[in-house]
Structure 1
Amino acid sequence: MEISTKEDAILIILKELDASHEKVIRMYFGLGTDPKSSIEEIGQDLDLTTDAVIELKNEGIREFIKLIVSTGIFGDKDKNFTDNFVQSSNSEFLDDFMKKFIGSN
């Protein structure tokens, strides 16, 4: 599988996360060489409960957002955009952001 330049950039940013956050996000969204996996599959592979996987995924997405915002990519001077995402506890909301950002279904 060929990795796009955009995905390569995303993988570089993900490396800045805690290893467990990075692994869960890579597995859940099928990034790099990791196949896309369900929450349940990730839990089985990593010996975690589904709640723990969801928590790691959501925390990882929030940290990812903080990292990309710190680059100035969104030009969010008032931090309205950032605060909405970072403070969100809605898993679907965070998933939708990541799917749109990485260009995934």
Structure 2
Amino acid sequence: MTPSVAAIIRPIALARVGDCLGLLGRRAEAIVKLTEAISLMEQVQLPVPQARSLETLAVLLAEEERTAQSRRAYARASEVYETIGDAEASSRCRNLAIAAP
């Protein structure tokens, strides 16, 4: 595997691990993995999985009652979805960022 391929696969794999941890109810660990994955995705410019991971992160943060962080994650997901031309997802995340208690 070349370094460039690893740079793309690593954040996607980390995000999937984060998704699985979240589904298992291990939210704190999921948040750590997703945060790392999102940072790497931004570095290597993977906006589609980044937007999805931001949205998943926002849900997990809300479940952990980390409302301000959840709002920021939803707002960032909205921005990334808008960048990739997914107006529906962008609007959904923007509304969730505003609606969060």
TM bracket (short chain): 0.3 to 0.5
TM-score, scaled to structure 2: 0.37
TM-score, scaled to structure 1: 0.36
